[in-house]
Amino acid sequence: MKIVLASASERRQELLGRLIENFDIIVSDFDESKVPFEGSIDKYVKDVALGKALDVKNKVNEDAVIISADTIVTLGEKILGKPKNEEDAFNIIKSLQGRKHLVYSGIVVINTSKNIIKQESLATEVTFSEINDAEILEYIKTGEPLDKAGAYGIQGIGGIFVKEIKGCYYNVVGLPLNKLKLMLEEVKVN
């Protein structure tokens, strides 16, 4: 059966390649801004992932298993998206330094032939070490934080700021492999 990843993320594509040898990529055109945030981050990431998966399901004309995910970084009740510019990246990283924050991923797997939809979410606690302003500015110069939720990539240079994590590392990267493996088994994909 055809397996489709509903993501343009190179990180997600690389991670899925560790579980599944052959899969197609169809990028979702789902407008995430249409998903209302109603106080539950867990529900929000699952709803966004579901929107992406259903959008791609409508583009596939054959039986398939569709995989989608959405990952966000939160500090308290605040969602830290991708920075708007370098100043925003600086402020986001500054707010994280020396503190704990949570990274949430919503994952959806749809088996179109069996009409099964599985939705899950996962949170990982990440603690940053103390970081001085010069270190933050040097990191921003690399360009890495500018397209990352929370303004850092744990799998890249930003990993040097991570003092500790509690939970799934791959969740912070953007695709929790163990959770996804179990979901695929539930929808009968080996």
Contacts of 160 (CB under 8 A, 6+ apart): none
> How far is residue 173's CA from residue 180's CA, in Å, rounded to a whole number?
13
What is the length of the chain? 190
Which residues partner with 65 through β-bridges? 3, 111
- Asked if residues 37 and 55 have their Cβ atoms less than 8 Å apart, the reply is no
Helix, strand or coil, per DSSP, at residue 123: strand
Tokens of 21: 């040898």
Query: Mapping DSSP to helix (H, G, I), strand (E, B) and coil, where does residue 31 land?
Result: coil
Which member of 24, 70, 88, 133 is catalytic?
Answer: 70
Alpha-carbon separation of residue 33 from 25, 49, 99, 102, 189 (angstroms)? 22, 12, 28, 21, 31
86: left (phi over 0), alpha (psi -120 to 50) or beta: alpha
Q: Is 70 a catalytic residue?
A: yes
The catalytic site residues sit at: 70
